Amino acid sequence: MGCEKDPTIQSPAKHLKIEVFLKNLQVPWGMAFLPNGDFLFCQRDGQIDLMKNNSRDYNMIMFRTVQTSEGGLLGLAIDPNFNSNHYVYIY
């Protein structure tokens, strides 16, 4: 049952808007915004995708099979000094 059809779920604030902007993902898991507004997200099977700022399209930038049983790629983090070193940590 989706939230939009469940009358018992109340929005915590009237000004919030819930919007689905990506569909047909396998098991989306972690996400992070880059300083320029681009959006990185990962899926448990090991796929990392990049969505450019102000776009609805995304491109796979890395895939490495890491899913075993209930484990897999859990998340990603942007280094605080990303603008100078361009490090993204995956775990």
Per-residue pLDDT of the chain (91 residues; tens, 9 = 90+): 444 555 566 656 677 777 777 778 887 888 899 999 998 988 888 888 888 887 777 777 777 766 566 677 788 899 999 999 999 988 8
Tokens coding 79? 């280094």
Query: What pTM was estimated for this model as a whole?
Result: 0.64
Sign of CA dihedral 51, 57, 62, 64: positive
3-state secondary structure (DSSP) of residue 48? strand
